[in-house]
Amino acid sequence: MATSWEGLKGIVAAGEDDYGKFMRGNNAAGTRVRKTLMEIKKYADQMRKEVQEQKDRRKEEK
């Protein structure tokens, strides 16, 4: 999976509306917010892995 900042921002933006609903008292929206946060975590972990792999490849090229 190729990740990008734009992809991460897209996930965050998708959950923004539900977060507002949750803050106004909609508990069902809270469940969706938690799901979105888990997606963000998984995406960020994948990004970290890809960044580290790129760093390692650059180091090997030197």
Helix pair 5-23, 27-61: axis angle to 10 deg: 160
Judged against a pLDDT cut of 70, whether residue 47 lies above it is answered with: yes
Number of domains in the chain: 1
Residue 26 per-residue DSSP state: -
As a whole number of angstroms, the distance between CA 13 and CA 17 comes to 8
Whole-model pTM: value is 0.85
pLDDT tens-place string over residues 5-43:
999 999 999 999 999 999 999 999 999 999 999 999 999
Domain range spanning residue 11?
Answer: 5-61
